[in-house]
Chain A
Amino acid sequence: MSGIIKSLVVPAHPHPYLCPDANQGWANIRAGFDEARRQIEESDADILIIYSTLWPSIIGHQIISDPNPEWVFVDHDFHDLGSIPYSLNIDTQFAKDWDAANKARGLQSRCVNYHGFPIDGGSVVALKLLNPDNRIPAVICSSNVYANRAETTVLAKACADAVEASGKKAIAVVVMSMSNRMFTQPVSPDEDAIHSLKDDEWNQKMLEFLGEGRLEDLAQLSRTIQGQIRVQKVVSFKPMWWLSAINGQHNNFNGQVLAYEALHGAGGAVVVLDPSEGGIGDKEYDEDDVENYHGDRNVLDAATGAFIEIEEHSLSEFDSLVLKTLAKEESGPELWQGTKGENLVNTDAAPKPVGPYPHARRIGDLLYLSGVGPRQAQTNSIPGGPIKNENGDPLDYDIEAQTRACIENIKVILEASGSSIDKVLDVTSFLVDMDRDFKGYNKVYSEYFRDVGATRTTLAVRALPTPIAVELKVIASL
């Protein structure tokens, strides 16, 4: 049967490889590696898949595709322990397949095949100890420093897609420390210990979960673990998300904790998880699942108003919940996805609708826009400030800033629809306080429309659906 046939958690430090005899704990870790290696050798695995927390990436994820990376690894901190020459056997085709699967699920991804690329120490140590004769081909993937649960989960699911498509039997390996606080002063090997009692207790709790096979339960504690026992070098503790997701997010494993010891103060463990028919209970709680990555920052696109039409997929339930929460917290009503259909236009670069309508509709050579306010596309915030707080108390606000944001949103929708502001034919404007705001609104309006020649009607209304002071409705030619 293809798929993930075994999973491993292994430590990241070089000590068990370079000097196991200097400390009984390091020897115990080495013995744990040896037992894991024995189990791997007994399996009929086709590939070892490494997710290493010691290889950071920034633009998406990177996957080693050099068929035979060779070099000598020296640790940045523990260089005095010695050097580790390596020559690895990489499954290039699988690396490419995983890369393609990542892209198919919306992730940024890149294969890495450069002579002399510095394979991270955690991956080198893991492969030297688990697969010393390179009998089983491996693949190594980076850990994006900014990645959250969604991105990491989708990365794992993409890998699972590639495993399934290949028909291979795979062993998934995460390289990580548990608690990762090291001593900041040199310590002699016989002085090594887990940095604090708190770190040790949390490590024991993690091992209790793993020993019981409760991988998804542990994955869902990742944010708590990050806050409790992780020196926050990266934004989140990700390896359990990845390992659980590649296994299908469940708790049905036979867990074996082969070793747990201190590595210069950090917690290192060798754990084996074998799929089983049943596990201890069901998942204690579920986070919303994600299948495709839509990005959670969109920094580039938001800045330029790029047109993104949602076609085949809608946002996940979790994303919708976030949007709804944002709406309630910041601007009132529930936010909707733009209505989809022939000749209808929606863009992520404009604020979400507050009802079942699109941003724009094409009819012949004409373009009709829904009413557009000043809310910001990504944050739902209101430039110039809202006109009232959540209790309905009036607030001071800047009508010029609101009007400007309003017209900028209109420009984004026009351009996404194949039109532009100079093609606007007619404008209907709505102000909630004509006496206060007409002058400021008119000033900004004239900056944009002075030479356009569009007809205009300005109306006073009692209120608008969100706490804004101005909204414009536009008809334009294409």
Chain B
Amino acid sequence: MRESLEEVDYDVIVILSPHWQTYVGTHFLGVENFKSLSVDPVFPNLFRFNYDIKVDVELAKAIHDQAEADGMAVKMMENPDFRVDYGTIVACHLTRPDWNKPIVSISSNRSRHYYSVEVMQEMMIQLGESTRKAIQASGKRVLLIASNSLSHRHFTTESAIPEDMSKEHITSHAMHLWDMRILDLMREGKTQQVVDEMPEFIEQAISENDGGSLTWMFSALGMPTYSPLMHGYGTIIGTGNVIMEWQHEKKGGV
């Protein structure tokens, strides 16, 4: 994916991460620079990372304002002591290890927990539209990242070190089949169908798409109908994960 993105000229990364979970609306990082240490609260043995992140506060505020004007509950996060979530850091680092592009980080509003997947989808479709309007108004060239697993049932035990990789697989065959179905739909350019089937996918595969990022990104891209590039699919602690690239400009997306 990084190799492919080297051919793409962009000004800023806009990411929605399920690991910054907010229950009172959608939040946006609103401080120009965050420099600190990130330690994963769930897997501290795996992830500890010194980060130095520049935020495009202007674009963040523009998306915030547009979403607010479109009726959404939003808030700028302006506390300089805030620790950026590890989901944002991992996804951005593996996309752009040089960290030489500013980011806009959007929280994952957990409306699915309070209402339903359908409500979450409506809100994320609206947030995607607001994001697109704000980006287009800014004139900036943006790389969108939706960070989440597909099927999302973890193993609750792990092998002793050295890790036995023969035990690394999707937790159940049913979840693997769901992943394959969603992957096929995406590869066929049927993003609207992915969104339509999302409630069942989330229920059946406990998908992390309940965090809203994929629906948000598809909405921001205008529900693309072209085929994306698939760079890889694999499992992490039993969850299903794909790296897929929608070459929006190259494919004539608007």
Contacts and interface: CB of A to CB of B under 8 A. Distances in A.
Interface of A: 55-60, 62, 72, 74, 76-80, 82-83, 108, 110, 112, 114-118, 120, 144, 146, 181-186, 231-233, 264, 295, 297, 299-300, 303-304
Given A184-B25, A304-B166, A79 B42 contact: no
B114 A76 contact: no
B79 A79 contact: yes
Interface in B61-91: 73, 75, 77-79, 81-83, 85
Interface in B154-198: 154-159, 166-167, 169, 171-172
A108 B159 CA distance: 10
Given A233-B113, A299-B171, A59 B23 contact: no
11 contacts: A76-B21, A77-B22, A79-B77, A110-B45, A118-B41, A182-B23, A185-B25, A233-B113, A299-B155, A303-B167, A304-B166
A231 B20 contact: no
Which 3 A-B residue pairings sit nearest by Cβ, starting from the closest?
A116-B37, A83-B81, A79-B79
B143 interface: no
Contacts of A295: 156-157
Nearest to B173: A303
B48 interface: yes
Contact of A185 (B48, B73, B159, B167): B73
Contact of A60 (B73, B114, B156): B156
B82 A114 contact: no
Interface residues on chain B, size class: 35 or more
Contacts of A181: 114
Nearest to A114: B44
B110 interface: yes
B37 A186 contact: no
Nearest to B30: A79
A108 B156 contact: yes
A300 B157 contact: yes
B81 A72 contact: yes
A118 B156 contact: no
Given A58-B237, A115-B48, A297-B156, 8 more contacts: A55-B41, A76-B21, A76-B27, A77-B27, A114-B39, A118-B83, A300-B155, A300-B157
A343 B192 CA distance: 60
B75 A80 contact: yes
Nearest to A304: B167
B237 A59 contact: yes
A60 B48 contact: no
Contacts of B159: 300
Nearest to B115: A184
A78 to B, nearest CB: 8
Contacts of B237: 58-59
Interface string B16-35: 00001111110100000000
B107 interface: yes
Contacts of A77: 22-24, 27
A231 B114 contact: yes
B238 interface: yes
B130 interface: no
A59 B159 CA distance: 11
A184 B24 contact: yes
Name which of B41, B155, B166, B238 has the most chain A CB atoms within 10 A of its CB.
B41
A55 to B, nearest CB: 7
Contacts of B39: 114-118
B207 interface: no
Contacts of B114: 181, 184, 231
Nearest to A118: B41
A118 B22 CA distance: 17
Contacts of A57: 42
Contact of A303 (B38, B42, B156, B169): B169
A120 B41 contact: yes
A331 B110 CA distance: 41
B111 interface: yes
Given A115-B37, A231-B114, A186 B75 contact: yes
A185 B75 CA distance: 10
Contact of B48 (A62, A74, A116, A183): A116
A272 B82 CA distance: 33
Interface string B203-231: 00000000000000000000000000000
B154 A146 contact: yes
Contacts of A146: 154, 156
A373 to B, nearest CB: 21
Contacts of B156: 58-60, 108, 144, 146, 295, 297, 299
Contact of B20 (A72, A76, A115): A76
Contact of A186 (B24, B41, B44): B24
A79 B48 CA distance: 23
B44 A112 contact: yes
Interface string B93-120: 0000000000000010011011000000
Contacts of B77: 79
B78 A80 contact: yes
Contacts of A80: 75, 78-79
- Residue from B113, B156, B166, B237 whose CB has the most chain A CB atoms within 10 Å: B156
A424 B73 CA distance: 68
B151 to A, nearest CB: 13
Interface string B124-139: 0000000000000000
Contacts of A299: 155-157, 171-172, 238
Given A58-B237, A59-B237, A184-B25, A74 B83 contact: yes
B154 A58 contact: yes
B113 A231 contact: yes
Nearest to A116: B37
Contact of B107 (A76, A114, A118, A232): A76
A256 to B, nearest CB: 30
A278 B188 CA distance: 68
A144 B166 CA distance: 25
A245 B83 CA distance: 35
A108 B48 CA distance: 22
Contacts of A76: 20-22, 27, 85, 107
Contacts of A74: 79, 81-83
A114 B48 contact: yes
A82 B80 CA distance: 10
A54 B23 CA distance: 14
Centre residue among A76, A110, A146 by max chain B CB count within 10 A: A76
B42 A56 contact: yes
